[in-house]
């Protein structure tokens, strides 16, 4: 079985070309010091603010080639990187935040990272300079108007940075933002993303000579000047220049462009992209990196050209070191021998959402009672057992119960080795797994019948259309059990197996309930508001609750992290009692390595639902 991930507002990835199957690279000659990782997800873009750049394959690569002021771990905790720079809140009224880039931080081509790079990101993410506002269609994407390339159109407005309406001020190596209103996600709202000097050169002098495609040459004397030109264009609101700059920013870092010219892959992390094809990305240590986690492996290759069973064969034959295949019974069987170490873990939280669109039985005056009866009919303990996955009880998984961004945590981050053990268990103990993963489905939260509402059987049978990705065995098992359980309570459930993302956004009249994998949002609080506030950009259920709206409006303006966490707990409770969302299980993920390779003892499967995969690479020496 092959997995091709899709989510709201993301681009669909083309079918993968399976070029190495059969024995999976048996006999391939390779550097024994290199590490080869095989995954189902292709790299899409280096630009983290675009749909292609937010796919799992892109996030995996950027975890090694990009650095910034902060990273976000799997629980949503913000971890500062003092070697890159500092983020300081100078004032609460108005909210004022200063970013200072540390001395010596450079791009992989040797050009210094400067406030111009942050200023470009503000221009792109604030929406203040855009002349065309993207009109989101029914499928959650914005149709491209014919005149977009002749307009200033970055098309990447952030729900946090839209509140920074004035051009930021630059002083030395610092850039300062002043918000027009308090914003909860201020700590992670802005970071270095794409190189202003490369975007400036491509936009303002497209025919300028490019660096040699071999090695990492020192910059020409005028190279850094392109970043200054970008900053000047933003400060002066030079429309002609901004049209070209925004066009190049939107397209920067896309896979096709990097395949055609790898020298455009300019990054600022411990590794850099040395070679790239449609299916393979080869990384090498960045000689200009001066941060706290320098690259030590001579070559890291990330492949997306093998189906899951071929990935297992390639690990066994030595062509691949780490396989991250889809977790399915046939893959587990293929990997089930003493030569391989297979580890499983929890991925995205699978939730049942009940829609309140006009065509849904869960809408209107009778909808609340029907939602209550439908939820009461579900035996979550049985659902967990039948799915074979770990139980989940988190209503807001993109934030999570451990979400924090306290100043103490930022000033004194925990020991990375300690964090890894806490999150994935002790590598020396094969029985030790992630602490938050239920070991037995019988331990499923909320499984005590006394905690469940008493079902009320409707007077007449109620038809319910359940949207589900039936290609996934876990979701298929859950759907079958929901059909049976709800049927016993008077609901006639039929499965709708069209594309989940498309139907959620563009076909609200085709579904009444949906099994949805929920991913972590880069802006945790803004993500909750977009999903559950009345009229929110991602509120596909059409749920509306004045009390909930008031709570969301308060938390999105809460700049104290502890207070925001407490407020989110209250929001969790309101959603739970509204019976609009039911957390069920964690989508299983897996990793496969050779037991004999001691370098890989700490490898654990990545949670593809997280917004930042930098922490997954902690197993690299």
> How many angstroms separate the CA atoms of 365 and 297, rounded?
61
The predicted structure's pLDDT at residue 20: 28
Query: Cα dihedral angle (479, 487, 380, 467), rounded to 10 degrees?
Result: 30
Q: What is the mean pLDDT of residues 50-63?
A: 96
CA atoms within a 13 Å half-sphere pointing along the CA-CB vector of 438 = 21
Query: Are 388 and 474 a contacting pair, CB within 8 Å?
Result: yes
pLDDT at 437 over 70: no
pLDDT 10s digits, 94-133 = 999 999 999 999 999 999 999 999 999 999 999 999 998 7
Give the burial string for 312-324 (b: 16+ CB within 10 Å, else e). bbbbbebbbbbbb
- Can you name the residues that pair with 324 across neighbouring β-strands? 39
pLDDT tens readout for residues 271-307: 999 999 999 999 999 999 999 999 999 999 999 999 9
pLDDT over 90 percentage in the chain: 68
Higher pLDDT, 247 or 406: 247
Q: What is the mean pLDDT of residues 82-101?
A: 97
Asked whether the beta carbons of 619 and 343 are under 8 A apart, the reply is no
Question: Quick one: pLDDT at residue 411?
Answer: 29
End-to-end CA distance of the chain: 32
pLDDT at 8 (0 to 100): 31
What is the rounded average pLDDT of the residues 496-516? 89
- Between 241 and 425, residue with greater pLDDT: 241
Output the CA–CA distances (angstroms, integers) from residue 234 to 123, 128, 190, 193, in the order listed. 7, 11, 17, 17
* Mean predicted confidence (pLDDT) in 35-57: 96
Calculate the average pLDDT of the chain.
83
Best CA proximity match to 185, nearest among 49, 70, 67: 70
Q: Which of 95-99, 408-412, 540-544, 564-568 bottoms out in mean pLDDT, i.e. has the lowest?
A: 408-412
Predicted local confidence at residue 73, as pLDDT:
82
Q: What is the pLDDT of residues 463-493, one digit of tens each?
A: 999 999 878 899 999 999 999 999 999 999 9
Query: Which has the minimum average pLDDT: 309-323, 405-419, 448-462?
Result: 405-419
- Residue 99, exposed/middle/buried by CB under 10 A (0-12, 13-18, 19+)? buried
Q: Looking at the predicted structure, is the pLDDT value of residue 520 above 80?
A: yes
Q: Is the pLDDT of residue 220 over 60?
A: no
Higher pLDDT among residues 430 and 147, named by residue: 147
Mean pLDDT of 256-275: 96
Sketch out the chain's domains with CATH numbers.
1-67+255-337 (3.40.190.10), 76-191+195-251 (3.90.76), 347-587 (3.10.105.10)
Return d(Cα 246, Cα 130) in angstroms, integer: 9
């Amino acid at each position: 079985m092959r997995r091709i991930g899709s989510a709201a507002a993301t681009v669909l990835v083309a079918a993968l070309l399976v070029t190495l199957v059969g024995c999976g690279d048996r006999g391939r000659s390779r550097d024994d010091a290199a590490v080869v990782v095989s995954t189902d997800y292709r790299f899409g873009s280096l630009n983290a603010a675009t749909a292609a750049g937010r796919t799992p394959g892109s996030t995996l690569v950027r975890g090694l080639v990009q650095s910034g002021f902060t990273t976000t771990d799997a629980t949503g905790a913000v971890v500062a990187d003092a070697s890159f720079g500092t983020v300081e809140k100078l004032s609460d009224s108005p909210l004022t935040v200063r970013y200072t880039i540390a001395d010596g931080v450079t791009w992989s081509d040797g050009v210094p990272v400067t406030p111009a790079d942050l200023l470009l990101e503000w221009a792109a993410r604030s929406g203040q300079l855009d002349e065309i506002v993207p009109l989101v269609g029914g499928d959650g994407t914005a149709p491209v108007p014919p005149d977009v390339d002749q307009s200033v159109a970055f098309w990447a407005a952030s729900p946090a940075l839209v509140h920074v309406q004035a051009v930021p001020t630059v002083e030395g190596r610092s850039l300062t933002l002043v918000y027009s209103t308090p914003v909860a996600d201020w700590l992670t709202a802005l970071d270095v993303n794409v190189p202003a000097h490369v975007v400036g050169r491509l936009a303002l002098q497209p025919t300028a000579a490019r660096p040699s495609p071999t090695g990492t040459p020192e910059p020409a004397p005028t190279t850094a000047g392109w970043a200054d030109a970008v900053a000047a264009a933003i400060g002066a609101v030079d429309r002609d220049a901004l049209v070209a700059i925004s066009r190049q920013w939107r397209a920067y870092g896309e896979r096709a462009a990097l395949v055609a010219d790898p020298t455009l892959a300019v990054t600022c992390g411990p590794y850099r992209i040395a070679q790239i094809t449609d299916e393979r990305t080869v990384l090498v240590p960045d000689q200009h990196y001066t941060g706290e986690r320098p690259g030590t492996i001579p070559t890291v290759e990330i492949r997306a050209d093998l189906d899951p069973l071929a990935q297992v064969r390639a690990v066994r034959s030595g062509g691949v070191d780490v396989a991250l295949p889809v977790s399915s019974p046939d893959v587990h069987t293929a990997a089930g021998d003493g030569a391989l170490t297979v580890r499983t873990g929890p991925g995205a939280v699978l939730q049942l959402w009940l829609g309140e669109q006009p065509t849904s039985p869960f809408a209107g005056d009778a909808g609340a009672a029907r939602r209550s009866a439908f939820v009461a009919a579900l035996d979550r303990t049985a659902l967990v057992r039948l799915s074979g996955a770990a139980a989940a009880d988190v209503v807001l998984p993109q934030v999570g119960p451990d979400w924090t961004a306290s100043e103490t945590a930022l000033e004194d981050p925990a020991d990375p080795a300690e964090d890894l053990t806490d999150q994935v268990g002790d590598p020396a103990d094969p029985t030790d797994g992630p602490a938050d993963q239920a070991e037995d489905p019988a331990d499923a939260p909320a499984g005590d019948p006394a905690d469940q509402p008493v079902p009320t059987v409707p007077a007449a049978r109620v038809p319910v259309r359940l949207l589900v990705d039936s290609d996934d065995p876990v979701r298929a098992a859950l759907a079958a059990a929901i059909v049976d359980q709800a049927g016993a309570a008077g609901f006639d459930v039929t499965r709708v197996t069209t594309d989940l993302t498309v139907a959620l956004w563009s076909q609200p009249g085709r579904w009444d309930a949906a099994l949805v994998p929920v991913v972590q949002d880069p802006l945790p609080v803004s993500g909750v508001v977009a999903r559950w506030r009345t009229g929110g950009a991602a509120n596909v259920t059409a749920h509306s609750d004045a009390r909930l709206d008031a709570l969301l409006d308060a938390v999105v303006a809460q700049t104290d992290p502890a207070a925001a966490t407490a407020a989110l707990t209250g929001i969790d409770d309101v959603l739970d009692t509204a019976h609009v969302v039911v957390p069920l299980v964690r989508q299983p993920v897996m990793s496969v390595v050779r037991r004999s390779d001691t370098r890989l003892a700490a490898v654990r499967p990545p949670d593809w639902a997280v917004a930042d995969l930098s922490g997954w690479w902690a197993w690299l020496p």
